[in-house]
Amino acid sequence: MSGNEMKFVQEAFDTNWVVPLGPNVNGFEKDLEDFVGEDKRVVALSSGTAAVHLGLLACGVGPGDEVLVQSFTFCASTHPITYLGATPVMVDSEPDTWNMDPDLLEKAILDRMEKTGKKPKAIVPVALYGMPYKADRIMAIADKYGIPVVEDAAEGFGSKYKGRVLGTFGRFGVLSFNGNKMITTSGGGALICPDAELWQKIMWYATQARESYPYYQHEAVGYNYRLSNVCAGIGRGQMTVVEDHLAHHKHVQALYEELLAGVPGITVHSQPGGGDYDSNYWLCTITLDPSLRIKGQENAYKTIVKGAVGGAAGVIHMASSAVTDCQPNDNVEALRVLMDQAGIEARPVWKPMHKQPVYKGVPAYVNGVSEAIFKIGMCLPAGPYVSDEDVRYIVETIKGAIEA
């Protein structure tokens, strides 16, 4: 932690506000409200997953309902739907942004209405790796059918579409401050709310739905989702350098684009042109042409992963096999292994949720885009401590991994 973070954290201890409320939480929420603008209110929570959960709950999602959600995402976008007893309906991606395909979204809405006799209860688009989704088209479709949108901008903190911060288009917007995000509170998240009334409702749910009696009275089920005052202190310090972090990630993306431009078979994914998109490039991503031959490709998937891949913790539940019916190509896995041996943490892109065993059998509207990208995609380091020298080392490692 820097001096900025330590100042606020020390203040929490000095004032004995070592609880899930307090001056740092209030201050952090105000900082976030100023950052996202649009006269929104923000509730700071224990995680982005908690924010998705409460946003869906406030939209009225419950048992027997369906929620349309982007399939190309991390499970935090989909699991909260199941917490509420509802069914996620997976919607595939468009090739330019890798995010929810608006045409497929409308097709899914009409088909679900025909099959079930009722509208889906909510729509959850995702800013994959920070890339903005087509917010105007998604919102137009949502408004056409009267379906609320919970924007999952957990990876898209600071990303903008047509000059407007992601998370401010829908009824609710989700932010994440996990340890690997654009800014961090070690663990934490927030829900962007449209007005004071819904802000109050979310705050109530996040604090165990307690009633205003001189004793504990509960008339509804609530959740222990409020952010710690200590963690919020870290967030307040991080907000003083957020613009630096955003600029750094964009700089790293530009450097990858420059250095990999002449490498045959390697394509850096970048935002569409035209000026509508302003991605934070939380992670920089590449695709590998299937024709590439990576050194050691013949040994791909021969051993089970025992350490961490893309996370702070080790693997808890050991797999019985090194392969599944939907996985990255052998050259992607071979490059990941070579990068790991070179001290570089690279990882596959998210496996689409409609191909996850836990969601086998749920409705899915697919066009093949996310599965195709999953087979050839890889994420490269882009965090605040990734230097220009690191990027050059990563690029040289990639070049050296390709067989002539």
Would you place residue 358 in the very low, low, confident or very high pLDDT band (cuts 50, 70, 90)? very high
Give me the domain span that covers residue 22. 3-241
Q: Decide: 238 and 33 in contact? Cβ < 8 Å.
A: no
Beta-bridge partners for 191: 43, 174
* Rounded CA separation 147/109 (Å): 10
Do residues 231 and 266 both lie within one domain? no
| pLDDT of the residue at 306 | 63
User: How many contiguous H segments (helices) and E segments (strands) does the chain have?
Assistant: 12, 15
Backbone angles phi, psi at 392, to 5 degrees: -65, -40
Does the pLDDT value for residue 312 go beyond 50?
A: no
| pLDDT of the residue at 404 | 72
| pLDDT of the residue at 311 | 47
Do residues 211 and 65 both lie within one domain? yes
Q: How many domains does the chain have?
A: 2
Domain end among 179, 208, 241: 241
Domain end among 212, 241, 270: 241
Helix (H) or strand (E) holding 160: strand 160-161
Backbone angles phi, psi at 348, to 5 degrees: -65, 160
Do residues 259 and 212 both lie within one domain? no
Q: Which tokens in the block code for residue 269? A: 């994914």
Q: Which tokens in the block code for residue 221? A: 């089920």
C-beta pairs of 173-180 under 8 Å, 24+ apart in sequence? 173/36, 173/40, 174/48, 174/51, 174/52, 174/55, 174/150, 175/32, 175/42, 175/48, 175/51, 176/47, 176/48, 176/51, 176/76, 177/48, 177/231, 177/235, 177/238, 178/47, 178/48, 178/154, 179/312, 180/383
| pLDDT of the residue at 74 | 97
Helix (H) or strand (E) holding 198: helix 196-206
- What would the mean pLDDT of 350-365 be, rounded to a whole number? 97
The closest alpha carbon to 111, from 94, 95, 91, 126, belongs to 91
Do residues 334 and 394 both lie within one domain? yes
Give the chain's radius of gyration (CA, Å). 21
Do residues 28 and 141 both lie within one domain? yes
* Rounded CA separation 126/118 (Å): 24
CA dist 98 → 53, 161, 219, 331 (Å): 24, 15, 43, 21
* Rounded CA separation 368/373 (Å): 9
* Rounded CA separation 244/105 (Å): 35
Q: Which residue do the tokens 């992670």 mark?
A: 283
Domain end among 224, 241, 258: 241
CA dist 188 → 32, 175, 191 (Å): 13, 9, 11
CATH number for position 198: 3.40.640.10
Do residues 186 and 39 both lie within one domain? yes
Of all residues in the chain, what percent carry a pLDDT higher than 90? Answer: 83
Do residues 68 and 175 both lie within one domain? yes
Q: Which tokens in the block code for residue 306? A: 């025992």
Q: Which tokens in the block code for residue 41? A: 């209110």
* Rounded CA separation 169/77 (Å): 17
CATH number for position 278: 3.90.1150.10
Q: What is the pLDDT of residues 197-256, one digit of tens each?
A: 999 999 999 999 999 899 999 999 999 999 999 999 999 999 999 999 999 999 999 999
* Rounded CA separation 72/85 (Å): 21
Do residues 313 and 222 both lie within one domain? no
Backbone angles phi, psi at 233, to 5 degrees: -60, -40
Q: Which tokens in the block code for residue 96? A: 């330019």
| pLDDT of the residue at 179 | 86
Q: What is the pLDDT of residues 19-60, one digit of tens each?
A: 566 789 999 999 999 999 999 999 999 999 999 999 999 999
Contacts of 54 (CB under 8 A, 6+ apart): 43, 45, 191, 202, 205, 206, 223, 225
Does the pLDDT value for residue 18 go beyond 70?
A: no
The reported pTM is 0.92
Do residues 338 and 290 both lie within one domain? yes
| pLDDT of the residue at 302 | 77
Do residues 171 and 39 both lie within one domain? yes
With 0-12 / 13-18 / 19 or more C-beta atoms within 10 angstroms meaning exposed / middle / buried, residue 263 is middle
Q: What is the pLDDT of residues 362-384, one digit of tens each?
A: 999 999 999 999 999 999 999 99
Do residues 220 and 280 both lie within one domain? no
Q: Decide: 5 and 230 in contact? Cβ < 8 Å.
A: no
Do residues 216 and 73 both lie within one domain? yes
| pLDDT of the residue at 69 | 98
